[in-house]
Structure 1
Amino acid sequence: MFAEERQRLIAARVAEAGRVSVTELAERFAITTETVRRDLAALEQGGVLRRVHGGAVPAESASTAETTLSERLVQHLPQKLLIAEAAAGLLESSRPGSILVDAGSTTEALVDVMLQRAAHRRNGARQSGGPEQVIITNALPIADKLAASPAHAVHLLGGRIRGLTRAAVGPETVDAVERLRPDLAVVGTNGVHAAFGLSTPDTEEAAVKAAFVRAARRVVVLADASKLGVETLVQFARLDQVDAIVTDASPESDLAAALESAGVEVVKAGPE
């Protein structure tokens, strides 16, 4: 295969997956990692992609780049559904009475699964007679979905609504979170990096996420493979502030080692 054709296929793979590793590309095209790095350098020079540690992401994935919530809802959808199912199982096993749910497309997918499972239990032979589960969120779409659920008591945090993500942000939101001590926080992220930890492009969103992490007794992060190894502009948590991460791919060796060192449980969604 000529280099030009291979580079075209690499660019297509990066655009499709959102993030690819050097190792994956070397195995996919039966070439050395050095050849992959040369291809990635050529594609980066042409503005097609951006190299990151251990791989590459699309060119528009800069530290401050963000997509709208509606765009995120359809990106990596199969992976997010797998993560949502795995996270719902994790929540059911720990049975938290109160949960902080962060804004985002993957956390919204989790809420969809939670509602489906609650409806199934109500319609099944075994009825749930336990107390309502308290859900506290800064996300308008999530609060709206939960509002009619008899299995959940939903509390919407106040603040300025950020149009891009439809999330409440600002000092009012952070202050409200700091007065809480929930059993669990489920947090989304734009990047999970071995050295930089968890990050997101917007400073106000980062402040709310950081408050979620500080407030909860246990923190679970949801991140599809495109977020692994990525750094965005604002750090909101160190890895050692997280209890578990639910993802659809095995982290690269450096990130896997950092997660293990920080005592973070990695829950891989989907088939082994």
Structure 2
Amino acid sequence: MYAEERQQHIVDHARRVGRVDVAELSAELTVTGETIRRDLSVLERHGLLRRVHGGAIPVERLGFEPALAARDELLTAEKDRIAKAALAEVPEEGAILLDAGSTTARLAEILPGDRKLTVLTNALPTALSVATRSHLNVLFIGGRIRGRTLACVDPWALDALGQSYVEIAFLATNGISVERGLTTPDQAEAAVKRAMIAAARRVVLLADHTKLSADHLARFGDLNEVDTFITDTGLDERTAAEIESRGPTVIRT
């Protein structure tokens, strides 16, 4: 197992059970305790875990939110596949909305050059990425920029979304569960995401499997408000079927 795979396993396990133990991981993965401690140090630097005596706990349990750069470095292959699958949802013309997030940013990078689209986004990196493409009409949803996610929030963003209507909103989320729907750590971002759902004819959620059952402070939507949920094969078929029973079509790629 490569270091990246081992570290992803550690993060997944921590999110699933609430903590990880160095000795248990060392035995399970057949590596030394020192190797596990190095992995935990790497994951802590990336803002994904917080070291505690004998192990680590996921930052979500402490109310922390990983920065965009840290999230962008994980599950890159899965996020690329999700973004490519989302291309099938992009219309030939019309208006679409791109939420702030590491997977939605990948979709922005591969938007086809032969479609006449108006792209609304509250994500500063996404706006900069697509602004120079002559075939796209880019509308930046302004407001206060959150340094952690580089997303615009608060009244200016909400006012702009309240006056907009798009064909499809491509949404990101920090957490998704059958019990609690869609959640995110920040209340201001939750308000913007709710406004995005209200501004769209269809909602397509882009999220890798690690977002499953990771519930956060602010709830912004129900599963029945999502038309299509595109994720990776790390989501098992049983859970996918349970999610589909609540409304959205689930695509595992």
TM-score (norm 1): 0.72
Q: Is the 8 A contact 1:63 1:233 kept in 2?
A: no
Q: Is the 8 A contact 2:176 2:211 kept in 1?
A: yes
Residue segments in structure 2 that go unaligned for 5+ positions in a row: 18-27, 29-51
- Indicate the residue corresponding to 1:122 in structure 2: none
Which of 198, 203, 207 aligns to 2:187? It is: 203
- Indicate the residue corresponding to 1:52 in structure 2: none
Using the alignment, how far apart are the partners of 1:47 and 1:172 within structure 2? 46
SS class of match (2:201): coil
Q: Is the 8 A contact 1:191 1:231 kept in 2?
A: yes
Q: Is the 8 A contact 2:207 2:230 kept in 1?
A: yes
Report matched runs for 1:167-178 at 5 Å.
167-178=151-162
SS class of match (1:75): coil
Residue segments in structure 1 that go unaligned for 5+ positions in a row: 1-8, 22-28, 30-44, 50-57, 119-127
Deviation at residue 255 of structure 1 after TM alignment: 4.0
- Indicate the residue corresponding to 2:10 in structure 1: 14
- Indicate the residue corresponding to 1:215 in structure 2: 199
Deviation at residue 10 of structure 1 after TM alignment: 8.7
Q: Is the 8 A contact 2:14 2:58 kept in 1?
A: no
SS class of match (2:105): helix
CA deviations on 1:178-198 (whole Å, 9 max, x unpaired) are 111110100000011001000
CA RMSD of aligned residues (A): 2.7
Structure having greater relative contact order (Cα 8 Å, sep ≥ 6): 1
Using the alignment, how far apart are the partners of 1:188 and 1:103 within structure 2? 7
Q: Is the 8 A contact 2:12 2:210 kept in 1?
A: no
TM-score (norm 2): 0.77
- Indicate the residue corresponding to 2:83 in structure 1: 84
1:154 maps onto 2:145 in alignment: no
Deviation at residue 146 of structure 1 after TM alignment: 0.7
Q: Is the 8 A contact 2:157 2:192 kept in 1?
A: yes
1:59 maps onto 2:55 in alignment: no
- Indicate the residue corresponding to 1:229 in structure 2: 213
Using the alignment, how far apart are the partners of 1:245 and 1:231 within structure 2? 17
Structure 2 letter corresponding to 1:110: L
Using the alignment, how far apart are the partners of 2:198 and 2:8 within structure 1? 40
- Indicate the residue corresponding to 2:103 in structure 1: 106
1:140 maps onto 2:129 in alignment: no
Q: Is the 8 A contact 2:11 2:58 kept in 1?
A: no
Deviation at residue 46 of structure 1 after TM alignment: 6.3
Using the alignment, how far apart are the partners of 2:130 and 2:60 within structure 1? 32
Q: Is the 8 A contact 1:187 1:221 kept in 2?
A: yes
SS class of match (1:185): strand
Deviation at residue 95 of structure 1 after TM alignment: 3.3
Using the alignment, how far apart are the partners of 1:166 and 1:10 within structure 2? 29
Using the alignment, how far apart are the partners of 1:220 and 1:207 within structure 2? 18
- Indicate the residue corresponding to 2:94 in structure 1: 97
Pick the structure with greater CA Rg.
1
- Indicate the residue corresponding to 1:267 in structure 2: 251
Q: Percent identity?
A: 37
Which of 207, 213, 229 aligns to 1:245? It is: 229
Report matched runs for 1:25-64 at 5 Å.
48=55, 58-62=57-61, 64=63
Q: Is the 8 A contact 1:181 1:217 kept in 2?
A: yes
Q: Is the 8 A contact 2:225 2:247 kept in 1?
A: no
Q: Which structure carries more strand by proportion?
A: 2
| CA separation of 1:18 and 1:177: change in aligned 2, threshold 3 A | farther
| CA separation of 1:228 and 1:63: change in aligned 2, threshold 3 A | farther
Give the number of aligned pairs.
Answer: 217
